[in-house]
Structure 1
C-alpha cells in the first residue's frame, strides 16, 4: 500500500507538522474532522489490521474520556458563561463542555496520526531513512537496530530462566518482597546475557569493517520520490482542510494556553 511504501522520514516529518498545526487550534470541529480523515486515509492508503488498530487505539480513547471527564468536573467558570447543568460543586457550562470535548478530540486526533505512522512504518526502514536522508550517525542507528533485534531474544531467555526456576521449585512468589527478590534473580542473568550479546555484536561489526563513518554505502537504499511528497501533501492537507472547514462553519478558535 502507498503509506507502507512511503519514505519513513518524509512521513514522520508530515506527521510532526500536522500535529504542530493542530496544536495551534482549540475547537471541537478541527480535531474531529482531522481525526475522521486520518482514519479514512489510514485504512484506504495503508495496509493496517483493523483489530490491531482498535487494540492500540483503546488506551488513547480511555485517556480522552478521562480528560473530558476531569475538565467537566473541574471547569473554569467565567462571568457570562451559559450554565447548562449545576449540582452541588459540579457546574457544567456550554463553554466548558465545548472546551472539554475539544481537549478529548485533540487527544484522539494526535493518537490517530501517531498510529498512522506506527502501523505503516517498518522500524528498520525508518532508521535506514534517518541515516540516509537525515544524516543520523550510523553508530546510533545501528545500536538501536541491534537493541531492537535483541528484544525477542530477551523474551525467550526470560521464559527459559522462569522455567528453570519453576523446575527447581523457586518460581512461586506470594508476597511483595518475594516478587522483588524474584525480579532480582531474573535481572542478573538477563543483564549478563545482554552484555555477552553486545560484545559478540560489537566484535562481529568490527570484523566486518564497520567504523561508524557517515559516508558509507547501503545495501538497501530508501529513496525519496515524487509519490512521497504527494502523500506528504495529503497528510498535511488533512489538517489544512479541517481548519478551513472549521473556519467556514464559524467554529475555528486558536489555542491561548488556558483551559
Structure 2
C-alpha cells in the first residue's frame, strides 16, 4: 500500500503500512480515536504533535491539516480529520473485529445510535467543552479559570444530564443496553470533568453516575487516555 509521504520536518512518516495517527496524548479528541483503536485491538503508528509548544500551527503540520487541529488519521492515500469521523471510519472498516460499536444491520437501532451521537455533538459537547476548557485546560496552560463562565455554563449541562438521567433509568447505556459509539463519544470531556468540581453534576444523578463509572472503567478507555500507552506504541513501532 503506497503511503502519502511527508519527507521533511518533525512529521516525517516512518512506516509504509497501517494507520498513522497524528495526535497528542493529552488531547481529548485524540483520546476519542484511540479509544476506538483500542476497543478494536488495532495497532497504529503515533506521530506526536505537541499542542503545548504550538506544533499544530507550524507549516509542516498545517500542510497536513490546514485547520491546525489533531487528530489526523492517514490510511494509505486517505486522510481524515475530525475525531468522530475518524472513529466511525475505523468502526465501519473493522465491523467484525472486537465489540460492535454500531449496529450495521438493524436500521431502527442504527437510527437510535445515530440520534444519541448527534445529541452528544450538539447538546452535551458545547457546555461540556466550555467547562473542560475553563477548569482543566486553562490551568494546564497557566491561565486562570473564569468562574463566572463556569457558573453560567453548568446549568446548561445540567439540563442535558437531566435528560440523560431519565433515559438511563430505562437503558443501561444511552442508545442501547450495550456500549456503543454514542457512549464512547462522551468519554473525553467526562474524563476531564470528573477531575473538576463539575463532577458533582454527574454524581448527583444516580443513573448518570452509574453510566459514567461503567464507561470510564473500560480497559480500552483507560489505555486511550494513558500517555504511556501512546509512547509505548511509538517505541514498539520503531524497534
TM-score between the two structures when normalised by the length of structure 1: 0.25
Pick 1 or 2: higher relative contact order, CA cutoff 8 A, min separation 6.
1
Structure with more of its chain in helix, by fraction:
1
Greater Rg over alpha carbons, structure:
1
TM-score between the two structures when normalised by the length of structure 2: 0.26
